[in-house]
Chain A
Amino acid sequence: MNNAELWQAALGEIELSISKANFSTWFKNTTILSNENGKVVIGVPNGFAKEWLENKYNTYIFRALRNFQDDIKEISCIIYSNEQAPLNEIKKMDSAAPVLEQQLVQEIQQGGNFAQRPIQPMMHTGQTNAPYENNINARYTFENFIIGENNELARAACFAVSQNLGKIYNPLFIYGGVGLGKTHLLQSIGNEVLANDPSRRIKYITSERFANELIDSIRNQTVNDFKSAYQAIDLLIIDDVQFLAGKEKTQNEFFHIFNALYQINKQIVISSDRPPKAIATLEDRLRSRFEGGMIADIGKPDIETRIAILKTKSAENNFYLDEEAIRFIAENVKNNIRELEGALNRIIAACEFNKKLPTLKFVQQALAEIISSGKKKGVQAQNVIEAISQYFNISTKELIEKGRKKEIAYARHIAMYLMRSELSASYPSIGTQFGGRDHTTALHAYEKINREMETDEKVREDVAVLRERIYAV
């Protein structure tokens, strides 16, 4: 057993004897630096952890280590960071550090052009210096991704993939609604892989940009270059793949690239707002390939996750919000994380502008416009009917008239369901909207869909997509 394995095993044991919060606070970024003659030296990230491990947890650590290696007699901690050398090794600034100096000079010079061009984070331009862009944004990492019940599986799958490119889940397909963190997860994979091995060739691209690049290459007659550039990639991340729907030529090219990468065990990660089988006009051969790997979904965050997100975000902004206010925001902004962040930003701005403290009352006022008792303004019965007729490709006339064809009846039921659940319309008024039907018809429809949603995945998907479309007006 080497030091890393020993420590992993010991940590596993310690984790069971102390609380999760304590464990993650005190044992994060710790490692065994040396293990000789029964003396173990543990590297810890700061002085607080050192004091704590030496004074409070030494018996736990001691016991855990002894389980695996019984000649351990002494444990000590030193402050150590695994990214850089410990402080006492930092020698005098040697004037022969031309690389760094050049970087600074360069950066300062580029700084003048700050406005015109974004700066590339050094960690990525540093070593590889490859002539292609990987489009990975260093802001998104697994560390700052907040895990909740809704995204556990997806996060675990993504993390596993980042540790074992192309070996376990290939392709990995992540789906979930707008603003729930798909892009964050996808980018995290890229960052994690780069952090472990900066020489890996990674490409993150949205399916729309992929299509545009392909069209450009067709116009410039450089399709072959385009293909070979993609086929040399270790990890290909395609975001929002649903936009490929209906673009046949692009799908075709994508299919070939996909196959080429898949055959040589290169990792492919794909995201979409719905599962592969729910993407209309996606070619069957692509669909079956997407379904061949691992599929994981991201659901809506539960209230605890939303609270955790708000706390993290407000801490990032150095902004203090009390429990009550956080709970209020989390209870009222439910649907997506981006909205949640928006609400928080709005409060921060309002506080700065009015120079007031974010009390519960102030927060309620600031958010009144967004939430207005939970319903978005401006959505009416007409919007629902239009959205339904577009989605199912049925004319509004058919939807309202007496026809009882199965597809039409299903669409009508969903429309009634949404009017009830989203607009809180009364059953009689729903009946009237649909050509003077009886209120019991509407009642039946609502209950039927409600029931089916519990058992039928497809119904759930349809309702979720439609609900988003209604509010997207």
Chain B
Amino acid sequence: MKLTCTQENFKKAIYSTERVVGKQITLPILENILLETDNGMLKISATNLEIGVFLKIGAKIEEEGKITVPARLLSNFVNNIPNVGTVSLSVVDQTLHIESGSSKAQIKGLQAQDFPIIPEMEGEFLFSLPAQEMKEVIPRLAVCVSLDSTRPELTGLNFVLDKLEVRLAATDSFRLAEAVVTLIKDNSQAYDLFIEKTNSVIVPLNTISELFRVINPETQDIKIGIEESQIFFQIDNVRIVSRLINGKYPPYQQIIPQEFTTKVFLPKDEVLRAVKIAGIFTHSKAGEVKFTVNSQAKEIYVQSKAEEVGENKTILSAQIEGPDQEALFNPRYMVDGLQAISTSHLVLLMNSGASPAVLRMVQGEKKEEMLNYTYIIMPIKN
């Protein structure tokens, strides 16, 4: 193998692939990334057998070939060399020679034949999602994904595919976040056929964070295809393949109440501050913060108390519709939900101190409720 490519492209390519590497101890080659020439391009692949990532960059190829080298070593080297424009790569005796300006390196590699084959898609992409919207939505949902491996189906993001939109949901069974994103059909007929059969898939959190990482500010859309328990993403020139989590996602929609008796409109920053302060006055994990809605005074009280620490209370004026309410929440979960709100005001919807409460964003003068993001949190019962 002998080729030259731009340093910028090479660096970006290594950055996009390197992170999935290296959490396997059984097979040493999984700590490597694969470099190979492919139809006049340089193809770079990495995998941990759960996720596979590959991309192609333009290169001037003098001699075809392939090799695998340790990912961390390569990325540490590439990240630290000065930017001079181009990088030349060549392979001699299982060793990768890299040359860029005044820096040279030789990295010992392993046989490319032993590198896992990253599954390719057989059919076509089914649909696309707007990349920038996803970049905004993913962090809001990711905080709610469960890390408990005894319930594997909750350790990923649920995609419910509908005719015009995708519902994304995450829950760790203490709280739940749902976002609705409008989809673009790439192949309308195939998509409609597909959702007849399968309309819900669960994508592992690791895959989602990998996806999040490769979305650039310029990225337009994310193409998505699903085949045989696997999901394929195409983001610009990067292709991600991942297994799907087997299992059935709980039908969470049934627990979102349709009606709420009390609606409280609040400025986001002030509530967030109040809950954070309340969090200080609780035990580190076992804490609870009390929300009291006083509709007559048009105020809500956010308070907490811990025997050995002390107590606090914040009074916020709010626009309230409906009767008085009182409920206890875990401050950590409340903060997660509030932080995901990107508008200046939000609405807190409640029925009673024992049924789920909902946070949603509101926009405009009329404080219109936005349905594209819903955060559900269960109160602590007394």
Contacts and interface: CB of A to CB of B under 8 A. Distances in A.
B56 to A, nearest CB: 19
B243 A46 contact: yes
A419 B286 CA distance: 47
A108 B377 CA distance: 8
B26 A47 contact: no
A78 B122 CA distance: 14
Given A46-B50, A47-B119, A84-B246, A25 B286 contact: no
A109 B327 CA distance: 13
B117 A48 contact: yes
Interface string B342-367: 00000000000010100000000000
B198 to A, nearest CB: 6
A386 B175 CA distance: 55
A21 B287 contact: no
A107 interface: yes
A308 interface: yes
B261 interface: no
Interface in A105-134: 105, 107-109, 111-116, 119, 121-123
Given A84-B247, A101-B254, A108 B176 contact: yes
A86 interface: yes
B117 A51 contact: yes
Nearest to B201: A87
Dominant SS among interface residues on chain B: loop
A79 interface: yes
Chain B interface size, as a band, is 35 or more
Nearest to A85: B246
Contacts of A315: 23-25
Interface string A357-389: 000000000000000000000000000000000
A315 to B, nearest CB: 5
Nearest to A138: B150
Contacts of A264: none
Interface in A38-73: 45-52, 55-56
Contacts of A103: 250
B248 interface: yes
A122 B228 CA distance: 27
A320 B73 CA distance: 13
Given A103-B250, A105-B255, A315-B25, A52 B229 contact: no
Contacts of B248: 84, 90, 93, 97, 100
Nearest to B253: A93
Interface string A81-107: 101111110111101010011011101
A312 interface: yes
A383 to B, nearest CB: 36
Contact of A113 (B23, B230, B380): B380
Nearest to A96: B251
B116 A52 contact: yes
Given A50-B119, A93-B251, A100-B250, A114 B330 contact: yes
A48 B254 contact: no
A311 interface: yes
B251 A101 contact: yes
Nearest to B327: A112
B198 A88 contact: yes
A320 B22 contact: yes
A194 B63 CA distance: 58
Contacts of B176: 108
Q: By CB atoms of chain B within 10 A, which of A45, A52, A93, A315 has the most?
A: A93
Interface in A211-227: none
B319 to A, nearest CB: 27
Contacts of B244: 87
B143 interface: no
Interface string B25-43: 1111000000000000000
Given A46-B230, A111-B175, 7 more contacts: A83-B246, A87-B244, A92-B200, A100-B248, A100-B251, A121-B148, A308-B25
